[in-house]
Amino acid sequence: MKTSSLKLKTFAEYKKAYKKSVENPEKFWGKIAEEFTWQKKWDNTLSYNFSIPEVKWFEGGKLNITENCLDRHLENIGNKTAIIWEPNDPDEESRHITYRQLYVKVCRFANVLKSNGIKKGDRVCIYMPMIPELAIAMLACARIGAVHSIVFAGFSSSAIASRINDAECKMLITANEVYRGTKRINLKSICDEALKKTPTIENVIVYRRTVEPTEMTAGRDKFWFDELQKVNQDCDAEVMDAEDLLFILYTSGSTGKPKGMVHTTGGYMVGATYSFSNVFQMNDENDVYWCTADIGWITGHSYIIYGPLCAGVTTVMFEGIPNYPDYGRFWEICDKLKVTHFYTAPTAIRSLAKQPIAFVNKHKLSTLKVLGSVGEPINEEAWHWYNDNIGKGNCPIVDTWWQTETGAIMISPLAGITPTRPTFATLPLPGVQPALMNEHGEEITNIHEKAEGRLAIKFPWPSMARTVWGDHQRYKEVYFSAYPNMYFTGDGAYRDATGNYRITGRVDDVVIVSGHNLGTAPIENAMNEHEGVAESAVVGFPHDVKGNALYAFVILYPGVEATDELKKEIRDLVSSTIGAIAKPDVIQFVKGVPKTRSGKIMRRILRKIASKDTSNLGDTSTLLNPEIIQEIIDGAL
């Protein structure tokens, strides 16, 4: 984007833009889209029907997102650093990759993909640590029109396999090992386990992050470096229609298997870049932006790679963790790399806030200008700690609300422009039309009165997911069935009398643990696979660092002994089926769980028991087995 032209500068400008975006959304987004590089302009800015549902933006437009992330910058900022990579080990050297170098690396690796048979539309699974090659692999896919499906490198082999199989990926790109704090994890062996169950994978490209010996399967596995030697660095960008797929990214649902959210090229690019530029307000060419998320999540897709690179800024990728070698690592990196814009999650803020303040005060933090938060509601205490100790009271905090499904930030202050208020994500971005819904399913339209309800969006925005891969019906049921002609977010929200939103959290069976979106059903399914487990129910309960933690109520088969060893087995099973992030924090063995007459588990009551808030359990008259409640409370941990 011609960086300055559509960046809002004042609150009055924001209000004007917002008004325009509602009055004539097509004209509004069309003007923004014109700032990008298109091989051919679109014929039709928007067509949509939320009851099918179908949404198309910039139809007929031809482009390639990598021309916008890379080629377009070569002339003016080719020598500017695109990516600064900070390794896990502070003694290993950082890497600075300019836009021109990144362009060459992406084109070259794109040729590796091609020479291994990958074509436009093929799906490629990427399971990699936070190293520049992850960015190169994803951009190389986009360069040739292959659809990347990035799986967070903390997921288990069965989670990889099910995602690969769902998307029928032809290739897997991984690294031999990954460093995380003091640990070295063998990613390749996790992949090998997954690859036993993935018939569609033809080739595996392995980047060597360490010099350790790596087991390779002949004919299938190839080293990244060896493949690079066989190709040149010229690779024209594939011509993509605006609605051609850019990527699939899996997110947990409240029921069933993870949903592969499908994002398309043109709208996603416009939405990610417009929001990035306006929310973060990187106004100086020397500004350095650092988002601490992993690229395996949507935050990393939109706000480490696509948004920042399209905007031509310097973006930091960090391989490590916040507490290695000590709890000051984030702040050390901010000083070392002169970070000006810092974006992290409340769970990280809370865990760092628990440590002695000396870990912060050892560092100057004098380059910081803007702080961001994402992933879950930020509580008041964490907000103030962040504001006072990291921002030193003079960095605006942007509390950005959005979702994997929305592709881009939806409700957030614009840094330095929108008045902030602790715990409030504040106002919708231009082009975003939220609706607060009451318990009767009606929109609460009076924006001058405080209200609480469920959050929906009543008009399409360019970066919204277009479908669930392979299951359009599910897309319709989950997002477009709660309210006619609206997208339902799954979140509850409060709105104050000036129109500011505070997101209160999920209203479905998704629990956000340390910023990770986890469905309770898949965790229950994993536990039920244990031969001793008859049934289980998982709920979230408040946790002072993780935001929420997981509490599992487990019913054993008769004769099975309730031991700590068994708890460990169950937790390990969840870890190997889904990943360590999904392990329940508490397991309570129970004789039964409260159920309605129709056999539905009354999670509302279990949530209260898990939260140690049993003074008022509400109406229990419809229960089949009310007597079980006291028994569970008595045994609660």
SS (H, E, C) 244-257: CEEEEEEECCCCCC
Q: For residues 551 and 285, give the distance between their C-alpha atoms in angstroms, rounded to a whole number.
A: 47
Q: Does residue 374 touch ligand WT7 according to CB under 6 A?
A: yes
475 is an interface residue for ligand WT7 by CB under 6 A: no
Residue number with CB closer to ligand WT7 (313 or 374)? 374
Using CB under 6 A, which of the segments 91-99, 177-185, 400-408, 538-546 binds ligand WT7? 400-408
Sheet hosting strand 451-457, strand order edge to edge: 434-437, 451-457, 487-495, 501-506
User: Is residue 122 near ligand WT7 by the rule CB under 6 A?
Assistant: no
Instruction: Tell me, rounded to whole angstroms, the distance of Cα 194 from its chain centroid.
Output: 23
Decide: is 490 part of the binding site for ligand WT7 (CB under 6 A): yes
- Provide the minimum distance between the beta carbon of 27 and ligand WT7 in the complex, in angstroms, as a whole number: 28
Q: Residue 426, interface with ligand WT7 (CB under 6 A)?
A: no
For residue 397, the minimal CB distance to ligand WT7 (Å) is 11
Nearer CB in complex with ligand WT7: 86/399? 399
Interacting span for ligand WT7 (CB under 6 A) from 43-51, 100-108, 293-301, 561-569: 293-301
- If binding is defined by CB under 6 A, does position 292 make contact with ligand WT7? no
In degrees and rounded to multiples of 5, residue 239 shows phi and psi of: -80, 120
Burial of 573 from C-beta contacts in 10 A (0-12 / 13-18 / 19+): middle
* 627 exposure class (CB count in 10 Å sphere: 0-12, 13-18, 19+): exposed
Q: Which of 64, 273, 351, 404 binds ligand WT7 (CB under 6 A)?
A: 404
CB of 503 to ligand WT7, least distance (A): 4
Return the closest-CA partner of residue 463 out of 299, 256, 302: 302
Sole binder of ligand WT7 in the list 1, 112, 172, 503 (CB under 6 A): 503
CB nearer ligand WT7, residue 111 or residue 299: 299
Structural contact between residues 315 and 130, judged by C-beta atoms closer than 8 angstroms: no
State which of residues 71, 177, 243, 376 lies at the interface with ligand WT7 (CB under 6 A): 376
SS (H, E, C) 440-484: CCCECCCCCCCEEEEEEECCCCCCCCCEECCCHHHHHHHHHCCCC
Q: What DSSP character marks residue 213?
A: -
If one asks whether residue 266 binds ligand WT7 (CB under 6 A), the answer comes out as no
Binding to ligand WT7 by residue 382, rule CB under 6 A? no
Q: Does 491 bind ligand WT7 (CB under 6 A)?
A: yes
CB of 324 to ligand WT7, least distance (A): 23
Q: Which two tokens stand for residue 284?
A: 């100086």
CB of 344 to ligand WT7, least distance (A): 11
Residue in 3, 172, 133 with CA at minimum distance from that of residue 80: 3
Sign, Cα dihedral of 336, 340, 341, 344: positive
Q: What's the one-letter identity of residue 301? A: H
Which stretch of DSSP H or E encloses residue 273? Answer: helix 265-280
Q: Which of 257, 506, 571, 603 binds ligand WT7 (CB under 6 A)?
A: 506
Stretch that binds ligand WT7, among 100-108, 204-212, 456-464, 487-495 (CB under 6 A): 487-495
Asked if residues 425 and 223 have their Cβ atoms less than 8 Å apart, the reply is no
Q: Applying CB under 6 A, does 517 fall inside the site for ligand WT7?
A: yes
In the list 164, 317, 425, 574, the residue contacting ligand WT7 (rule: CB under 6 A) is: 425
Q: Shortest Cβ distance from residue 167 to ligand WT7 (Å)?
A: 18
Of residues 299-318, those binding ligand WT7 (CB under 6 A): 299
Question: Of 161-169, 175-183, 498-506, 587-595, which part binds ligand WT7 (CB under 6 A)?
Answer: 498-506
We find the least distance from the C-beta atom of residue 485 to ligand WT7, in angstroms, to be 20
Cβ atoms 423, 378 nearer than 8 A: yes
Does residue number 403 form part of the binding site for ligand WT7 (CB under 6 A)? yes
Q: How far is the CB of 402 from ligand WT7 (least distance, A)?
A: 4
Q: What CA–CA distances, in Å, run from 110 to 223, 305, 527?
A: 15, 17, 41
Number of residues that bind ligand WT7 (CB under 6 A): 23
List the helix and strand counts (H, then E) for the chain. Answer: 21, 30
The DSSP bridge pattern shows strands 54-59 and 44-49 to be: antiparallel
Element (H, E) at 551: strand 547-556
Tell me if 547 contacts ligand WT7 by CB under 6 A.
Answer: no
298 binds ligand WT7 (CB under 6 A): yes
Return d(Cα 453, Cα 441) in angstroms, integer.
Answer: 9
Nearest CA to 214 among 186, 191, 237, 239? 186
Listed residue (250, 268, 196, 512) closest to 374, CA to CA? 512
DSSP 404: T
Supply the minimum distance, in Å, between the C-beta of residue 475 and ligand WT7: 15
CB of 512 to ligand WT7, least distance (A): 5
Q: Using CB under 6 A, which of 377, 391, 396, 460 touches ligand WT7?
A: 377
Q: Does 401 bind ligand WT7 (CB under 6 A)?
A: yes
Contact at 8 Å (CB) between 413 and 399?
A: yes
Which 325-354 positions form the footprint of ligand WT7 (CB under 6 A)? none
Q: Give least dist CB 375 to ligand WT7, A.
A: 4
C-alpha distance from residue 362 to each of 8, 92, 331, 494 (Å)? 36, 21, 9, 38
Closest residue by Cα to residue 373 from 286, 502, 519: 502
Does the footprint of ligand WT7 cover residue 400 (CB under 6 A)? yes
Contact set for ligand WT7, span 123-182 (CB under 6 A): none
- Looking at 71-79, 295-303, 539-547, 574-582, which segment touches ligand WT7 (CB under 6 A)? 295-303
- Measured from the CB atom, the residue of 70 and 503 that comes closer to ligand WT7 is 503
Q: Using the rule CB under 6 A, is 399 a contact of ligand WT7? A: yes
Q: Does 276 bind ligand WT7 (CB under 6 A)?
A: no
Question: Contacts with ligand WT7 in 245-264 (CB under 6 A)?
Answer: 251
Return the range that interacts with ligand WT7 (CB under 6 A); candidates 108-116, 505-513, 541-549, 621-629: 505-513
> Are 144 and 118 a contacting pair, CB within 8 Å?
yes
Residues that bind ligand WT7 in the complex, under the rule CB under 6 A: 251, 297-299, 374-377, 399-404, 425, 489-491, 503, 505-506, 512, 517
